[in-house]
Amino acid sequence: MLKTTLAGLAAHRLRLLLTALAITLGVGFIAGTFVLTDAMRSGVDKTFATSAGKVDVAVLPKHEDGELPASLLARVRAVPGVTAAEGLVKGSAALVGRDGKAVGDMPTMGMSVPSGRLLRYDLDGGRSPKGPSEAVLDSHLAKRQKFKVGDTVTVLDQKNRPHRFTVVGLVDMGMDRDASMRGAVGFDAATASAMTGERTFTEIDVLGGGRDAVAKAVGPEHDALTGKALAQRLSKANGADTQVIQTGLLLFGFVAMLVSALVIYNTFAILIAQRTREMALLRCVGATRRQVFGGVLVEAVVVGLVGSLLGLAAGLGLGAGALAVIGSFDTGLTLAGPGLTLRTVLVALLVGVVVTVVSALLPARAATRVAPVAALRADLEPGSGRFRLGWVRTVLSAVFGLGGIGLAGYGGFGTQKGETAMYVVAAGGMLFFIGVVAVMPALVRPLGRLVGALPARTGGVPARLAVENARRTPRRTATTTIALTIGIGLMSLFSVVAASGTATANAQLDEHFPVDFQVESQFGGGRAVDDTSRLVPAPLVANLRALPQLEQVTEAREAGRPKSGGGPTVRTVTASSFGSLIKISADAGTVSAPEPGTLIVDARTAKAKGYRVGGTVQVRGERGSVPLRVAGIFRGDVPLDGVLVHETDFARVSAVRDAAVVWAKVRPGVQVDDARHAVDQAAKPYPTIRVGSMAELRDQFTKAVNMLLMVFGGLLGLAIVIALFGIANTLSLSVVERTRESALLRALGLTRRQLRRMLSVEALVMAVIGALTGIVLGIGFGWAATSAMSDNAVFDVPYLQIAGFILLAGVSGVVAAVMPARRAAKASVVESLSAG
């Protein structure tokens, strides 16, 4: 039996390759994910090993956010045998770009860069900084801002005062995650401390002395690591990023393998149906049911192994391509070359073979039911005719379908909103999808009649034959289309959620926050009193209020962090803006401008902290705390959260006088462009201040959502490609199955072109059935997911995108039918009629 199976595979090599291709694509994605993340992790490990190898001992805080006092450096230098020791200073020092504005959305990092052997960074040009007028730039930052060695740059200190420096070197900061993300400006230790205002160190690097001696000097409250241990700690901390990337990509790989499993199942089901007579003959000559079952599984193992090996090769190529694309961008990310590890090979082979064998189990079981007498019959195509739901399938479909709807309804339209509700909706979606899979064969005929109505009327006899071909094998068509349903359904779901999120944000801004401009630090609002780079200076607010083009200017100030313990953000907002620029809705109590001695709080904070209307709570800031009565709880309809208090109460808990953010409304009759020019001119003397119109802010949000959607769409595109391949594979095997039928149609007058059209329309019908099913599921559960986000969510359907999905599926289905149609058209009529 083994020889017979292997001989059959050898005789049908093309069929073997086509069947294995679905596994190849799925395994290739998984293998490519491992290749990509392994190369990234290897590059990170190598970089940190090289960097940390330049020091003998490193002293670090016990906790990640801890600090080392300056006095500790003197103790380390006093250790016998220590030849050099330097403390690493890190803080914020905003680099001013050529446009006069601070660079980036976060202030560039100001840090000390030592010289000599303790320089752990790679110099890409120039030398280390010496003295108060010299600086080095992160190489990637310098490239983006078009600075080079010898240029003079302006850097803002911790109080936003400008200082001029000469660039004496370019340094690769790729080993420092924060520096590579924010960009960095390097100084000598004294200048770095003066620019950033930091008086402590994040690390002390040591040459000589030995780890034990240094550890004894710094005491148990600090860590003393060897260079090797430091490399391992840094690699582990930075390797977390690659772990997140790997996990996310593997989730999409799981979707691809699920679609591959459906394609493999359908392929084996067709193959078993086509080989009914062959199986019966094997039974006639003595093959047992177990041998027939084993023969099909052996074929599945071979297919899975071939597909997995091809997938490994494809994964290596995908990983190399992804590395090349990442390397072409100025990311500062360290990359190693692509390669296959033993883990990658074993996982790929195991997943590919197991998925194939599991997918072939039901068809293999069906093969054992072929009676020997079937070798003497010439039955109609197995699986043809009307599909009937059995009572078991009916009950299961109802249980899963109703259970899914119930869970989705509870999560989406229940009282609880947020992350947990969305997980409940996701669980309901999975259950409902299982129910759809079970009942789909019964839906194929009515859906085929609906989808095929237009082609049947306009495409003539070939189109009518195509529609009937798609409808006459319900199981096969259902399994083929379900694979496409998964990909299109997920893309539709993401599209609906993204569109609804954008619509919700816009609606809430229009209703509750009708402002024209938002003025803030480009580094975002902050609660640190001494971090003025994150605040809008009070003189600028006064200048904005004096502009005749503006009708109203509102500022929001945030208290600094309390001296002990945490707590919600404490804000005060210009009282006159309530009801005009800020329109908030009450959940409980009164939510007008807070009176002295009272506060209002957003619903989420109130729930988290247990605040109740009428209750008294201690409001804390960096200056102290005061007891205030809760006057009202408001909904999260505006970009304000936490506790809102009166200005007099704010002054009792905080010394902050600068605004975290300022909002302005244009005076009626004034052109928005004229007002924008006036606001820009007022903000020009302040390099860290960013002016944005609400239209621009909305556009940025929309672009970010669309970019995220494109990423999801690209990753889910693999599942759609596999599903379309499933349509092509189904048609290819169907062409072989219907050889005599096609020949008879040709003999009756059907031309080669009409035969090709028939198969193309059949593929079109199957693709659109899958797409429509997926879109209905995606929109339905997108609605539930949107409602699960919040009570004020606005449901929106991106009709153009949805129409694009249907069009894409239809066109792709027709393209997938090109090769099978050409093969059918080339077959000889006489030879085909005489076959079988």
Pick the last residue of a domain from 214, 238, 262.
Answer: 238
pLDDT tens for each residue of 468-481: 888 888 887 888 88
Residue of 551, 525, 537, 526 whose CA lies nearest to 684: 537
Residue 281 lies in a domain: yes
Cα dihedral 142, 144, 147, 152 sign: negative
Residues 414-437 as b/e (b if ≥16 CB within 10 A, e otherwise) read eeebeeebbebbbebbebbbbbbb
| CA–centroid distance for 121 within its chain | 32
pLDDT tens for each residue of 7-55: 555 555 656 666 677 788 888 888 888 888 888 777 777 766 667 778 8
Same domain (yes/no): 61, 152: yes
Residue 362 lies in a domain: yes
The pLDDT of residue 14 is: 58
Mean predicted confidence (pLDDT) in 152-179 = 87
The pLDDT of residue 62 is: 84
Binning pLDDT at 50, 70 and 90, where does residue 190 land?
very high
The pLDDT of residue 701 is: 72
Residue 467 lies in a domain: no
DSSP 739-794: HHHHHHHHHTT--HHHHHHHHHHHHHHHHHHHHHHHHHHHHHHHHHHHHHH-TT--
For the chain, how big is the Rg over CA atoms in Å?
Answer: 34
How far apart CA 520 and CA 660 sit, in angstroms, is 7
How far apart CA 196 and CA 688 sit, in angstroms, is 16
What the block records as the tokens of 335 is 């990359």
How far apart CA 586 and CA 598 sit, in angstroms, is 15
pLDDT tens for each residue of 254-293: 888 888 888 787 777 777 766 666 666 777 767 777 887 8
Same domain (yes/no): 57, 140: yes
The pLDDT of residue 380 is: 44
Pick the last residue of a domain from 651, 685, 719.
Answer: 685
Helix (H, G, I), strand (E, B) or coil at 412: helix
Residue 410 lies in a domain: no
Sole residue written with tokens 């752990």? 120
Residue 558 lies in a domain: yes
pLDDT tens for each residue of 630-657: 999 998 766 788 899 999 999 999 988 8
- In this predicted structure, the answer to whether residue 4 has a pLDDT above a threshold of 80 is no
What the block records as the tokens of 147 is 């600075």
Pick the last residue of a domain from 191, 215, 238.
Answer: 238
Residue 779 lies in a domain: no
- In this predicted structure, the answer to whether residue 725 has a pLDDT above a threshold of 80 is no
| Structural domain of 546 | 538-685
Same domain (yes/no): 183, 67: yes
Higher per-residue confidence, 213 vs 65: 213
Binning pLDDT at 50, 70 and 90, where does residue 565 land?
low
Residue 148 lies in a domain: yes
Q: What's the helix, strand, coil split of the chain in %, to 5? A: 60, 15, 25
Q: CA dist 438 to 405, 487, 666, 774, Å?
A: 15, 18, 59, 15
Same domain (yes/no): 617, 662: yes
The pLDDT of residue 644 is: 93
- In this predicted structure, the answer to whether residue 400 has a pLDDT above a threshold of 60 is yes
Residue 826 lies in a domain: no
Run of H or E residues at 518? strand 517-521
Same domain (yes/no): 176, 125: yes
Question: Full-prediction pTM beyond 0.75?
Answer: no
Helix (H, G, I), strand (E, B) or coil at 3: helix
| CA-angle at 777, arms to 771 and 780, nearest 5° | 135
Same domain (yes/no): 112, 29: no
pLDDT tens for each residue of 105-120: 788 999 999 888 888 8
What the block records as the tokens of 618 is 């201690």
Mean predicted confidence (pLDDT) in 53-69 = 84
| CA–centroid distance for 140 within its chain | 25
Same domain (yes/no): 29, 68: no
Same domain (yes/no): 553, 676: yes
The pLDDT of residue 176 is: 72
Same domain (yes/no): 556, 605: yes
- In this predicted structure, the answer to whether residue 407 has a pLDDT above a threshold of 70 is yes
What the block records as the tokens of 771 is 């797409």
The pLDDT of residue 169 is: 94
Same domain (yes/no): 556, 675: yes
The total number of structural domains in the chain stands at: 3
- The percentage of the chain sitting over the pLDDT mark of 90, rounded to a whole number, equals 22
Same domain (yes/no): 296, 182: no
- The percentage of the chain sitting over the pLDDT mark of 70, rounded to a whole number, equals 87
- Identify whether the C-beta of residue 447 lies closer than 8 Å to the C-beta of residue 773: yes
How far apart CA 613 and CA 210 sit, in angstroms, is 61
pLDDT, the chain, mean: 83
Same domain (yes/no): 109, 124: yes
